Amino acid sequence: MLVYWIPHEVPHTLPANASHRVGIGAFVLNHDGQMLVVKEKSGRSTGTWKLPTGGVDEGEDICMAAVREVQEETGIETEFVELLAFRQSHKSFFGKSDLFFICMLKSLSFSIHKQDAEIEEAKWMEIEEYASQPKLNQSELSKIIANICVAKTKEKYTGFSALLTTTGLSGKKCYLYSNI
């Protein structure tokens, strides 16, 4: 493909291709203040209770992806509450980058029906017990995220809510995540 204009010292102005994959981690609370945790069958975090996580599909909203992944992995119905934090990492997939959004959700059902392909176990757990797992605390990032979740349960943390609006002048629907 011709990407340099004539004269050739002028840079091309083609927009860059998609550069990021997007994933979510779901912090789901039930009415008793317990959180939903899973143990995965494979991967780095086997043996540790962790947040349900998953990839955001092409064309999918982050807040919807969190609800879908929780339903798929655990059978729990939820509604999106707030986006608590996100991390950006690089070279995580064939040179591409990765954005991982921690979403807080409220459970609308309580009876767990785990998905067998990827999930070893799923249960409701006290947040303090989750946050005190030794392997989790070996990861600086996981430790901070656990602290944010604990702070949120004590109403000492302000996340971003999702507002359905329209983008630019085109009128397409989109979500804005902000603290308004």
Chain residues in the site for a second copy (CB under 8 A)? 15-22, 44, 55-62, 84-91, 93, 95-97, 99, 138-142, 144-145, 147-148, 151, 157-160, 163, 165-169, 172, 174-180
Least separation in angstroms between CB 22 and a second copy: 5
Of the two residues 7 and 15, which places its CB atom closer to a second copy in the complex?
Answer: 15
Number of residues written out for the chain: 180
CA dist 85 to 33, 98, 121, 144, 147, Å?
20, 14, 26, 10, 11
Supply φ then ψ for residue 142, to 5 degrees: -60, -35
Least separation in angstroms between CB 32 and a second copy: 26
The answer to whether the Cα torsion of 5, 7, 8, 10 is positive or negative is negative
The answer to whether the Cα torsion of 52, 56, 57, 60 is positive or negative is positive
What is the Cβ-side half-sphere exposure of residue 127, based on CA atoms within 13 angstroms?
A: 19
Least separation in angstroms between CB 140 and a second copy: 5
Of the two residues 46 and 132, which places its CB atom closer to a second copy in the complex?
Answer: 46
Active site residues: 72
Of the two residues 111 and 179, which places its CB atom closer to a second copy in the complex?
Answer: 179
